Amino acid sequence: MRQIWIAICLATILLVDQAIAADLAQKAEAAESKAGVLEQNAAADGSKKLPSPSEIITKPEAQAVDPVGKEPLNDAITCLSRTIYWEARGQGVAGMEAIANIVMNRLGHKGFPNTICEVVRQGREHGACQFSWWCDGRSDDAKEDKSYAIAKEISRKALNRQLTDRTGGALYFHQRKVTPSWSAEYIKTVEVGEHVFYKPHGGTAK
């Protein structure tokens, strides 16, 4: 009799686990689909349209995407989250949000691509990545669950247009410890966390 109860308990646990996994997969798929629409809207020239209630990515949906930080970088939420994580983890929410601002400001701007993943990957073909983590030769997998969860929440807000631009419209940035030659060509807007941010004169990217 005891063995039967054990078998029933194990079967129940298995069914619950499968139901949870199916629910997470459904949430992740919904989030990725919505993110694609939202990034297209954000990339549209001059578009300031806020997402409709049906387009807004919920927190559970965003957190269901890439739960352990090891999924391929092929959707907007994952590309943006991984960029925020690798460029600014440990810098607090403000520093992480500023990196999200840079990616979203570049999206669709003249001189930059129309998708988040393409913005993040830009420059690799010429050996000069716009975001250093993308071509540093190291693993791109996130290793700190808490920081990555924060990055995904920031990505969600950025795509939903719920994120304040902490950079003052910046398109470029660098770490405080360095002073690249190109920085003299642009207008410094603000310093947030470990980064300094800039925008071009006249608003046109080079």
Query: What pTM did the predictor assign?
Result: 0.86
Q: Tell me how far apart the alpha carbons of residues 33 and 49 are, in angstroms, rounded to a whole number.
A: 18
Burial class (CB in 10 A: 0-12, 13-18, 19+), 192: buried
Other Cβ atoms within 10 Å of 112 Cβ, number: 17
Is the per-residue pLDDT at 6 higher than 60? no
Is the per-residue pLDDT at 16 higher than 80? no
Amino acid identity for residue 121 in this structure: R
Other Cβ atoms within 10 Å of 134 Cβ, number: 19
Q: Which domain holds residue 148?
A: 2-203
Q: List the beta strands (DSSP E) in the chain.
A: 172-175, 186-192, 195-200
Q: List the beta strands (DSSP E) in 83-203.
A: 172-175, 186-192, 195-200
Is the per-residue pLDDT at 20 higher than 80? no
Query: Averaging pLDDT over each range in 21-35, 143-157, 173-187, which range is the top one?
Result: 143-157
Q: Tell me how far apart the alpha carbons of residues 166 and 58 are, in angstroms, rounded to a whole number.
A: 22
Least confident of 8-22, 113-127, 168-182: 8-22
Q: Tell me how far apart the alpha carbons of residues 99 and 35 are, in angstroms, rounded to a whole number.
A: 18
Give the tens place of pLDDT for each residue, 90-147. 999 999 999 999 999 999 888 899 999 999 988 765 556 778 887 776 788 999 999 9
Instruction: Give the pLDDT score at 12.
Output: 53
Residue of 106, 136, 101, 135 whose CA lies nearest to 119 = 106
> Structural domain tally of the chain?
1
